[in-house]
Amino acid sequence: MTDLYRLLPEEMEQLVIDMGYPRYRADQILLPLYYKFPKDINDIPQLPKKLREDLTKAGYTIGSAKEIHRVVSDDGDTTKLLLNLPDGTPVETVLIQYPSSKINGHPRSTICVSTQIGCAMGCVFCATGQMGFEKNIKAEEIVAQVIHFANILQQRGEHVTNLVFMGMGEPMANYDEMIRAVRILTHNRGFGIGQRNITISTIGIISGIDKLAEENLQVGLAISLHAPNNELRKKLVPTAGPNSVEDIIEAGRRYYKKTGRRVTFEYALMKGINDSPEIATELAILLKGNGSHVNLIPINPTAGNFNRPTQDNVNEFERILSDAGVNCTVRIEKGIEISAACGQLRTDIVG
């Protein structure tokens, strides 16, 4: 069985031609897929009955994610779903919304998608990392997460504005499927979201960063740094190499040079571990002048024994970086109380 959501528009076109139908039939499949969200091939009535039958006989299906559980934050801005993917695998996906700055504008609606079930990177402060690795998610299953929320938003008169590959798993460890999903979702005959509205996050898989730089995509890159030196980073990210900090910084420079897209370094602040003024100064020296952006994230509650720093410590950390000329912001976290924020996703917790 082949899910139609797996096919790039060019592949869809070749499929209908190979089946003996005119080229334009491909668009009669693609438009409903990405704007009407059919659950079955027979839900596309504009297709000739014979083509629908031929597609079904050839083993083509329309996969969709089935919602198992939904929880919404107190302010209504964050929705976390536990979805069953077409093969029955459960995965968590999150919608985060921010008010639009435009008059009568739609909210900015960001979908945080997952690329793996669990994660092999083992970050000690991340709930997903503590699950261990279970499996990679296929491109069509990544697309299914987006389509499910797109359908929900369409019913509200809203639409998906941004995608972040920051859900469960390490996107670069499922590189080929992740990139296929990105190309489907950004294709102007597919889902059609702008490349610049997508950010791909990585714990620092250098080969993936370098490959992404060669893809001719204008997507954002976020690298999870979390420490300014290798000794501390190794404690937080057990899979990190002996020179991971230097390797990551250099990979970020290469990415920026190749794409012209500024790199964001994600930094989870943990009380008493990596939030001191001395460490802030060390980080400032490391990043000063390289044109990157630092996203400071006070650690979110997980099963691990890590605490959020005080607001004063966060402010001081940000001040030290800013005074050194390092561009930085403190992330506005949403959905913490429903375990939908950064580092909190795992399929056995749905509350």
Phi (first) and psi of residue 121, to 5 degrees: -75, -25
Contact 330, 298 (CB under 8 A): yes
Residues 6 or more apart in contact with residue 294 via CB below 8 angstroms: 264, 265, 267, 283, 287, 321, 326, 327, 328, 329
**Segment (H or E) for 139:** helix 139-155
Give the SS3 label for residue 239: coil
Phi (first) and psi of residue 320, to 5 degrees: -60, -45
Which of 333, 340, 299 is closest to 72 using CA atoms?
340
* Helix then strand then coil, % of the chain, to nearest 5: 40, 20, 40
Buried b (16+ CB within 10 A) or exposed e, 292-318: bbbbbbbbbebebebebbeeebbebbb
CB atoms within 10 A of CB 57: 8
Contact 343, 127 (CB under 8 A): yes
Buried b (16+ CB within 10 A) or exposed e, 5-42: bbbbbeebbebbeeeebeeebbebbbebbbeebeeebe
For the residues of 175-238, what is the DSSP string, one character each?
HHHHHHHHHHHH-TTTT---GGGEEEEES--HHHHHHHHTS----EEEEE---SSHHHHHHH-T
The residues carrying an active-site annotation are 92, 342
Structure tokens at 86: 């077409």
Strands 90-98 vs 108-112: parallel, antiparallel or unpaired: antiparallel
